[in-house]
Amino acid sequence: MMQKSRLTRDWKECIWGWFFILPTMLGLIILNIIPIVQTIYQSFFKTGSFGRGNIFVGLENYKNLIEDSSVWQSLINTFKYAIVEVPLSIVIALVLAVMLNRKMRGRTFYRTIFFLPMVVAPAAVAMVWRWLFNSEFGLLNKLLNTVGIGEVNWLSDPKITVYVVAMVGVWSVIGYNMVLFLAGLQEIPRDFYEASEIDGANVFQQFFHITLPQISPTMFFVLVTRIIASFQVFDMILMMVDRSSPALPKTQSLVYLFYRYAFVENNKGYGSAIVVLLLVIIMIITVIQMIMQKKWVHYE
């Protein structure tokens, strides 16, 4: 009788558990899983004007991807953006987190100021920086002219535009990364630092031998999420770089290229193939990170 009552209680707890996660599961299925399946399915079709007349073409879209130079250039641009944005945003955020983790006057104020860009709409951020980088009347060029340096075409020079957009991306995500690192730093027991001080360890030795190993799980989480987000960059490029700019081919990302094919040229099948390519690349990079984490992430 007691065993039957226990089984009944376990079933009730299981049912309540599924009931509580049901909203999240429905959101995941509707907003993530179903669109992924639809995108993969659409990538095997050629879409007519205004989404009409879908024609099954098999792997033709993927064959065209290999031969399309704009796809490879966009992939290179995406890697350039990620290589600049990810390391800089992590390093700067970690330095700020270590500084703000110490007892200091106005610590809460500084935390708020650094986190503020994260709560501002990306479109607003992009427009403000676009005005600052304007080659004719932007504030940055005005300052350069004041000190005798000539004007720079920040958003129209193919050689530097992608890096300019990446720097704006760094500025916009530092606050979010900093908050995550602060949470990790505050979980480190103070006893570790006190014991190392007794052993004569200096600040740098404490940072590399105590702080970094202890926040390595947080570092791993930030690294994975930032790489995924950087490969999905779109709004910054759309808002900051004009379609007629000569720098656009050297700046547009894979997501921007998908937008151009799917919504400007109404070729959603080919655009879906681009998204599938991006999905595969992100999955490969994430799997590699999951394997490599065993060598440097410490969970104990």
Instruction: State pTM to two decimals.
Output: 0.87
pLDDT at 232: 93
Q: What is the tens place of the pLDDT at every residue in 169-203?
A: 999 899 889 989 988 898 888 888 888 888 888 88
More confident residue, 197 or 287: 287
Question: Domain boundaries in the chain?
Answer: 66-296
- Mean pLDDT, the chain, as a whole number? 86
> Any idea what DSSP says for residue 262?
I
Q: Which pairs with CB-CB distance under 8 Å and at least 24 residues apart come from 190-198?
A: none
Q: What is the tens place of the pLDDT at every residue in 202-244?
A: 888 888 888 899 999 999 999 999 999 999 999 889 989 988 8
Q: Please state, in angstroms and rounded to a whole number, the distance separating the CA atoms of residues 270 and 254.
A: 12
Q: What CATH number does the domain located at 66-296 have? A: 1.10.3720.10
Q: Which pairs with CB-CB distance under 8 Å and at least 24 residues apart come from 295-298?
A: 296/216, 297/216, 297/217, 297/219, 297/220, 298/213, 298/214, 298/216, 298/217
Q: Please state, in angstroms and rounded to a whole number, the distance separating the CA atoms of residues 34 and 74.
A: 26
Residue 89, both tokens: 């945003």
- 95 CA to centre of own chain: 19
More confident residue, 15 or 6: 15
